C-alpha cells in the first residue's frame, strides 16, 4: 500500500481532476470555523463561492433552522448572521442549524475539489482526526489544497499541510510518497515552526492583515491549537459538509 501525497497552494493550481481523497485547508479561518461549528452541534455547513446563490439557497430554509456566515477581506458581510470566526460558532448559536457559508478563500477551495470521492475540511485543531480518517480509508491518492489569500500563497495553510503530511508519514504502516516540491516544502516549514505555531500564524501576511483589522488574539489562539478536535468535516453531498 502506498499513499501518494500532492499539495497545491491555491485552487487555481489544481488540475481538472477528480481526486480520490481531497483535504482543503484554510487555517485563518474557514476550515477552523467549520470544524468548531460541527463540534458545537451544527447540523451541516453548505459552502458557496457566490453570495447571491447562498442567499437564494438560505431563504428556502426555516429562519429558525439556518444561519448565514459571510466574510470578505477578513470582515463580516453586512446582513449576515456571523462572519468567519471559530469563536462565534458556539453551541448556543449553531446547535442543530444549517450554516450557509461563504468566505474570501476557503469556500472557493472546497468548491474546486467538490468532485472528490472523499472531501474533508481541515484546520490545525483537527489535523490528527483527519489524518486518521485518511489512514482508515487507505486512500492511494490524497490531494491537499491550501486556500491561500485571493489566489496567492499563504504560510499558515502550507504549515498545516506539512503538519498533516508529517503525521501520515510517521503513523502509517506503509509507504507515503511525496509527489511534488510544494509538499516537500510544506514538510520543511512544519519542521521549522511546529513548536511555535501561534507565532507562525501571526507572522503570515494574512495574520498581519487580521491584526490590522482589530483584536483577533483569541482567533489566533483557537486556530493554532493542534489536535484538540475529534471532528472530521466531510462532504456528504455536493457542497454540504457534516461531521463524520
Question: What domains are there in the chain, each with its CATH number?
Answer: 2-243 (3.90.1560.10)
Distance of CA 123 to the CA centre of its chain: 5
Q: Are 149 and 105 in contact (CB under 8 A)?
A: yes
Bridge pairing between strands 240-243 and 233-237: antiparallel
Q: Are 77 and 83 in contact (CB under 8 A)?
A: yes
Average pLDDT over residues 178-205: 98
Q: Please report the pLDDT score of residue 1 as a whole number.
A: 64
**Angstrom distances, CA of residue 127 to CA of 60, 72, 115, 118, 124:** 34, 25, 22, 16, 5
User: pLDDT tens digits for 67-94?
Assistant: 999 999 999 999 999 999 999 999 999 9
Q: Are 47 and 101 in contact (CB under 8 A)?
A: yes
User: pLDDT tens digits for 56-73?
Assistant: 999 999 999 999 999 999
Average pLDDT over residues 169-180: 91
Amino acid at each position: 500500500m502506498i499513499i501518494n501525497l500532492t499539495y497545491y497552494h491555491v485552487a487555481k493550481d489544481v488540475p481538472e481532476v477528480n481526486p480520490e481523497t481531497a483535504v482543503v485547508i484554510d487555517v485563518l479561518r474557514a476550515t477552523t470555523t467549520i470544524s468548531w461549528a460541527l463540534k458545537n452541534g451544527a447540523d451541516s455547513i453548505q459552502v458557496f463561492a457566490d453570495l447571491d446563490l447562498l442567499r437564494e439557497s438560505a431563504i428556502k430554509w426555516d429562519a429558525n433552522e439556518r444561519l448565514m456566515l459571510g466574510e470578505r477581506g477578513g470582515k463580516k458581510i453586512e446582513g449576515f448572521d456571523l462572519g468567519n470566526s471559530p469563536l462565534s460558532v458556539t453551541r448556543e448559536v449553531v446547535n442543530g442549524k444549517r450554516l450557509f457559508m461563504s468566505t474570501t478563500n476557503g469556500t472557493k477551495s472546497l468548491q474546486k475539489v467538490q468532485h472528490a470521492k472523499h472531501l474533508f475540511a481541515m484546520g490545525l485543531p483537527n489535523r490528527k482526526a483527519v489524518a486518521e480518517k485518511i489512514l482508515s480509508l487507505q486512500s492511494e491518492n490524497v490531494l491537499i489544497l491550501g486556500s491561500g489569500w485571493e489566489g496567492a500563497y499563504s504560510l499558515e495553510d502550507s504549515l498545516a499541510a506539512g503538519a498533516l503530511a508529517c503525521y501520515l508519514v510517521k503513523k502509517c504502516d506503509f509507504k507515503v510518497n511525496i509527489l511534488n516540491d510544494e509538499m516537500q516544502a510544506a514538510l520543511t516549514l512544519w519542521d521549522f515552526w511546529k513548536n511555535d505555531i501561534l507565532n507562525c500564524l501571526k507572522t503570515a501576511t494574512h495574520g498581519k492583515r487580521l491584526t490590522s483589522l482589530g483584536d483577533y488574539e483569541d482567533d489566533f489562539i483557537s486556530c493554532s491549537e493542534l489536535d484538540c478536535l475529534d471532528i472530521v468535516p466531510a462532504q456528504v453531498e455536493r457542497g454540504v459538509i457534516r461531521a463524520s
